[in-house]
A and B are shown apart, each in its own frame.
Chain A
Amino acid sequence: MYTAALPASVVELTETLSALPGIGPKTASRLAFFLLRGKSELALRLAEALKGLVERTRFCSICYNVTEADPCPICTNPARNQRMVCVVEEPLDLLALERTDQYHGVYHVLHGALSPMEGVFAEDLRINELEARIRRGDVEEVILATNPTSEGDYTAAYLLQRLKPLGVRITRLGRGLPMGGDLEYADAVTLMRALESRQEL
């Protein structure tokens, strides 16, 4: 591009921003110049936030949600039912379920769904960790809350087949969620109904 006319630090920021999902080169340079022209606190606050993200957060060693304290506040909350585990694809799905205020169990975050065409296989997800957690014997019910998409259904079917022999109760979120959508975008009422109408598999 016309990078020769720009200082290296601006080029560096633009290129880094455009590596983010949903941000093309145009948006990246617009953001870079916005930060450059704007008050310097904003850029510094962003830098601090990013630094904090990398240095202070990690995955919970029990549920693999993003957390600053390990185990996470959900896994250590005595008011929650630690024997009921809701399996979700992403941390954002967990947040959507938390918004319902109706779920009092704990979670397990897979960090994706099976998608062989995109190169995502069982070993790329936190499935071994889920199995180990159940084998430790402290789980009564597993709620499969993968997205109501073709990948989500495939993942749920695979999990069912793998976890059923462990003798744990396995349920799947009820229908009523729009097919093809993500949990993350479902409204709280719909999600609550899907939870209540979950079916034993």
Chain B
Amino acid sequence: MHIRSLSLRQFRTYNRLELDLPASPVLLLGANAQGKTSLLEAIAYLAVGRSPLTNTDQHLIHWRAVESAMPFAHLKTEVIHRNHADLIEIALEQKTLANGGTRLEKQIKLNQHTIRQMDLAGHLNVVVFLPEDVELVSGAPSGRRRFLDDLLSQVYPAYVESLGEYQTALSRRNALLRHLRDFGGDAAQLAPLEETLVQTGVTLSLYRRRVVKALAFYADRLHHDLTGGAAWLQIQYQPNFDPLRPPAVDYQIGLLPETESESPVDLDTLYEAYRKTLHAQRRIEIDRGMTLTGPHRDELRFISDGVDMGTFGSRGQQRTVVLALRLAELRWLEQETRESPVLLLDEVLAELDRARRTYLLNLLGNVEQTILCTTDVEMFPESFREKTLLLEVAEGIIRRK
């Protein structure tokens, strides 16, 4: 798939933008803070209804619009698939309430019909690669869970739905646990919430297990290539609750290569095991005032040559892992949706050495549309620039170069 046109009103630094794009690489050129990253953000936002850079949608509205009487932002894109086209629109409008507060209204449309956010899945798939992505490997586990959530949400509406229900039930259960601890009450109120956690949590866990298995397969080969044949990469999904396996041993460094148990287990057995665990944990969790078991505490680890890259990898090694991971994501999306996703690369070339840069640029030949940002056009070889649309970005205005 590729983006044929993009239109932005009052989005970040863009007051008004109308852009037509080709089904080939596009290179956005400009100094920092001119709007290059915002353009990639806009495309990613249209894909999933969520920004890769902020959780506060208010921040997406142009600062000058925020000061106006009726602040709004509008994003629109036309996506070309093999046999059809999709028109995706998102409108944000900040309403002032009677009590002086504000509320953000968000409307998502697909081909001019209002849809729920979860129904965006599959209409525009993107792989976003940002310089700060190295945090995926080195940072907190929540970032890795979000990575899995964002990827699966692009493809499966059922995943988005389960994730939303899981998070609501989790917040409710935690609030109830604290209430039971501080004031007492009927602990049976926990049961319906636990049932939701069980049903949706098993769904999340199964999807995650499946996607990590596929990503691990692709990333291993890519990592091997990226390191000139020097190192393989293992990606391990470590579910916090895993009825398929005995409780995880907390490894230090030298991780044992685990053998995946493939014994088919039926859903009812999974539900029952999870239900029992939550029930058995109640007393401890009431004391702690929080739910300690479930996919909200899953972990994902990257191991190369027996070393956990998150803890012991150098910055350079971590960058290579992230590159392999993003490219694996691209492969997985291609495989799963039978279409090429749009690849969005922000300044990542600057951090790679010549060999890895060449490897990456060669791979782009197989991607239908890649949009790259750079401050330095010299980083791209002449042969690449010839096939590429060059656009200059300055103060939220884009010109063909």
Contact = CB atoms under 8 A, between A and B. Distances in A.
Interface string A142-173: 00000000100010011001100000000000
A122 B185 contact: yes
A34 to B, nearest CB: 16
Interface in B171-189: 171-173, 175-176, 179, 185-186, 188-189
Interface string B18-39: 0000000000000000000000
A122 B98 contact: no
A127 B352 CA distance: 64
B192 A150 contact: no
Contact of A24 (B98, B165, B176): B98
Contacts of B179: 116, 119, 121
A95 interface: no
Given A116-B172, A117-B175, A150-B168, A158 B188 contact: yes
If over half of B's interface residues share one DSSP class (helix, strand or loop), that class is named, otherwise mixed; here it is: helix
Contacts of A116: 172-173, 175-176, 179, 189
Given A116-B179, A161-B192, A154 B97 contact: no
B191 interface: yes
Contacts of B188: 158, 161-162
B100 to A, nearest CB: 7
A61 interface: no
A117 B191 CA distance: 16
B186 A123 contact: yes
Given A24-B100, A27-B98, A116-B175, A161 B186 contact: no
Contacts of A22: 98
B192 A158 contact: yes
Nearest to B186: A122
A27 to B, nearest CB: 6
B176 A121 contact: yes
Contacts of A26: 98
Nearest to A118: B175
A117 B185 contact: no
Nearest to B174: A116
Given A116-B172, A154-B172, A157-B195, A121 B189 contact: yes
Contact of A117 (B172, B192, B195): B172
A119 B179 CA distance: 8
A154 B188 CA distance: 12
A24 B179 CA distance: 31
A23 interface: yes
B185 A121 contact: yes
Contacts of A158: 188-189, 191-192
A114 interface: yes
**Residue with the highest number of chain A CB atoms closer than 10 Å, among B172, B191, B195:** B172
A25 B99 CA distance: 7
B360 interface: no
B292 to A, nearest CB: 17
Interface string B140-177: 00000000000000000000000001001001110110
Contacts of A157: 191-192, 195
B171 A122 contact: no
B193 interface: yes
A123 B188 CA distance: 12
**Residue with the highest number of chain A CB atoms closer than 10 Å, among B99, B100, B189, B195:** B189
Nearest to A150: B168
A24 B97 contact: yes
Contacts of B172: 115-117, 154
A178 B179 CA distance: 32
B117 to A, nearest CB: 14
A116 B99 CA distance: 25
Nearest to B193: A154
Given A121-B176, A150-B168, A154-B172, A114 B189 contact: yes
- Ranked 3 nearest A-B pairs via Cβ: A24-B98, A157-B192, A116-B175
Given A116-B176, A123-B186, A150-B165, 10 more contacts: A22-B98, A24-B100, A26-B98, A115-B172, A116-B173, A119-B175, A122-B185, A150-B168, A154-B192, A161-B192
